[in-house]
Amino acid sequence: MSNTNTLKGLQPETVWNHFAALNAVPRPSKKEEKVRAFLRSWFKERNISFREDAVGNLLATKPASPGMENAIPVVLQAHVDMVCQQNEGTDHRFEEEGIDMFVDGDWVRARGTTLGADNGIGVAFALSLLENQNAVHPPLEALFTVDEETGMTGALGLKKGWVQGTFLLNIDTEDDQELTVGCAGGVDVTSTGTYTSSPVPQGYKGLWVRLKGLTGGHSGMDIHLGRGNANLLLSRVLRSLEESACIMLSSWEGGSLRNAIPREGKAHLAIADSHLDQAIAELNRLAQELHAEYAETDPGLRLEWESIDAPTQVLDAVLQQKLIRAVEAAPAGILRMSPTIPGLVQTSNNVSKISAKEGIVSIQCLTRSAVDSEKMAAAEALRSVFSLAGLATEFAGSYPGWTPAPAGSLASHMRDTYVRMFQKEPHVNACHAGLECGIIGERCPGMEMISFGPTITGAHSPDERVSISSVQKSYDYFLEVLRTIPTR
């Protein structure tokens, strides 16, 4: 579906051509075999030297352009995987199909799915420079990492000494006015348990309750926007129905990815005939209440229900009560703002995915913080809450934050270049997303790093879009930064 003609005429042409070619290749996180093969073939066709490590990262090299041999060596870095989300009613097979893109004014978007500009545009920048014979640049390494979105296993798998550059440009920031010099770390928190189902008594009906149409978004960069979390809101609905209409829970599912604010959730309930009208009245009340509360942040929010045949099995009543309340009480959203950087979220948690069905309960969270001890304290708080529902909790995929360093020589060079080109100051900041820089920095001591990139909105959701004019601006800036890199 994705092809160069879709973006024909957009500038810079080479970047958009590479982005279109990349988006024709399936590249879900942890399933990057096809995009890695695409890159290997691309390098070989152009006689670009490259190597691959044990976890699947690719590192291409390009000598300095004439006269730049003594410039400080630079690493260009982007991740090849993408978040795979789609709207209800969209039937897209991310493992087999490319992305169906279209131009909407100054934006490139996808039809019903995530676009993959995060971080496909960064990959396209690097490929464009590797192929460009006229660009002036220092000695280059281009590092393409795998599985950034669901564990950062590519960055975590880097061996010390595999990357040699002194400066690193991470092309993964989503506002062209920002230079990012620090980020949060994260840890995956998973709580699980088993249960024995109970049969549904006679005289009960079935009810599907669905919460859908929420805005969702990036669970780090968008966590401060106050958007609804489908898992938390549905726990509120279930608790209210339990108290007012004595519902019994047969199954509960919500969310799909740890790093996306959940947009949808559903629950299959059993309810006595005598309580059905009471439940419908309560659902109507809750629908109005939630719509009023989230009219600004989630205007598409819908609470829907449907009467069906009764389920045959339900959760034990005590477990049901504990589970619903544990989810509703789980620490979520912003847990602490930074006391030193105004407006920056320091610690947060996203209750990302819930599944309670067929005798198994699983709750997945992603906890982030710029302070490692605070990150783990928040994770332990989740363990405590979910232990009250009888669930066991494990931590995995912990990665460090990136301590802000706004006064380094790379930061100064990029700030000065920005001011010279655009006659305004960039926003030099830290972000509440999990960038790979903190991990790479551990493996490359002394390396100075900056993250930058064109403006992307709606990342990790089907609303994702990238600004065409911003891509031109950022690519011009990218070339100028490299052209004027200081000498060693």
The tens digit of pLDDT for each residue in 447-477 reads: 999 999 999 999 999 999 999 999 999 999 9
Average pLDDT score, the chain: 96
In a domain, 230, yes or no: yes
In a domain, 445, yes or no: yes
CATH number at residue 364: 3.30.70.360
Of the candidates 403, 340, 346, which has an alpha carbon nearest to the alpha carbon of residue 375? 346
**pLDDT tens track for 30-89:** 999 999 999 999 999 999 999 999 999 999 999 999 999 999 999 999 999 999 999 988
CATH number at residue 433: 3.40.630.10
Tally the domains of the chain.
2
Whether the per-residue pLDDT at 236 is higher than 60: the answer is yes
In a domain, 488, yes or no: no
Cα 442 to Cα 385: distance, rounded to the nearest angstrom: 33
Same structural domain for residues 225 and 292?
yes
The predicted model gives 352-369 an average pLDDT of 97
Give residue 460's region: left, alpha or beta (phi > 0; psi -120 to 50).
left
With a pLDDT cut of 90, the percent of the chain lying above it is: 94
pLDDT of residue 248: 97
Q: Are 441 and 449 in contact (CB under 8 A)?
A: yes
Same structural domain for residues 304 and 416?
no
In a domain, 116, yes or no: yes
Q: Which of 381, 399, 417 is the last residue of a domain?
A: 399
Q: Where would I find the beta strands (DSSP E) of 37-85?
A: 50-52, 58-62, 74-79
The predicted model gives 105-122 an average pLDDT of 97
Same structural domain for residues 192 and 303?
yes
Q: Which domain range does residue 341 map to? A: 187-399
Q: Which of 399, 419, 442 is the last residue of a domain?
A: 399
pLDDT of residue 151: 86
Same structural domain for residues 64 and 106?
yes
In a domain, 472, yes or no: yes
Cα 342 to Cα 426: distance, rounded to the nearest angstrom: 16
**What count of other Cβ atoms lies within 10 Å of the Cβ of residue 387?**
14
Whether the per-residue pLDDT at 97 is higher than 50: the answer is yes
**Catalytic residue (one of 148, 188, 253, 448):** 148
**pLDDT tens track for 286-345:** 999 999 999 999 999 999 999 999 999 999 999 999 999 999 999 999 999 999 888 999
**pLDDT tens track for 197-226:** 999 999 999 999 999 999 999 999 999 999
Same structural domain for residues 30 and 179?
yes
Strands 107-110 and 185-194: unpaired
**What count of other Cβ atoms lies within 10 Å of the Cβ of residue 212?**
16
Cα 162 to Cα 443: distance, rounded to the nearest angstrom: 9
pLDDT bin (cut points 50, 70, 90) of residue 3 is: low
Same structural domain for residues 272 and 391?
yes
Same structural domain for residues 34 and 159?
yes
Same structural domain for residues 232 and 262?
yes
pLDDT of residue 406: 82
Output the pTM of the full model.
0.82
**Catalytic residue (one of 81, 175, 448, 464):** 81
In a domain, 286, yes or no: yes
Same structural domain for residues 25 and 55?
yes
Whether the per-residue pLDDT at 2 is higher than 70: the answer is no
In a domain, 300, yes or no: yes
pLDDT of residue 4: 56
In a domain, 18, yes or no: yes
Whether the per-residue pLDDT at 409 is higher than 70: the answer is yes
The predicted model gives 272-279 an average pLDDT of 95
pLDDT bin (cut points 50, 70, 90) of residue 434 is: confident
Whether the per-residue pLDDT at 23 is higher than 50: the answer is yes
Q: Report the run of H or E that residue 450 belongs to, with start and end.
A: strand 448-451
- Known catalytic membership, residue 148: yes
pLDDT of residue 488: 86
Same structural domain for residues 370 and 462?
no
Q: Which of 358, 383, 399 is the last residue of a domain?
A: 399
Same structural domain for residues 57 and 36?
yes
**pLDDT tens track for 117-156:** 999 999 999 999 999 999 999 999 999 999 999 889 999 9
Same structural domain for residues 43 and 159?
yes
The predicted model gives 267-294 an average pLDDT of 97
With a pLDDT cut of 70, the percent of the chain lying above it is: 99
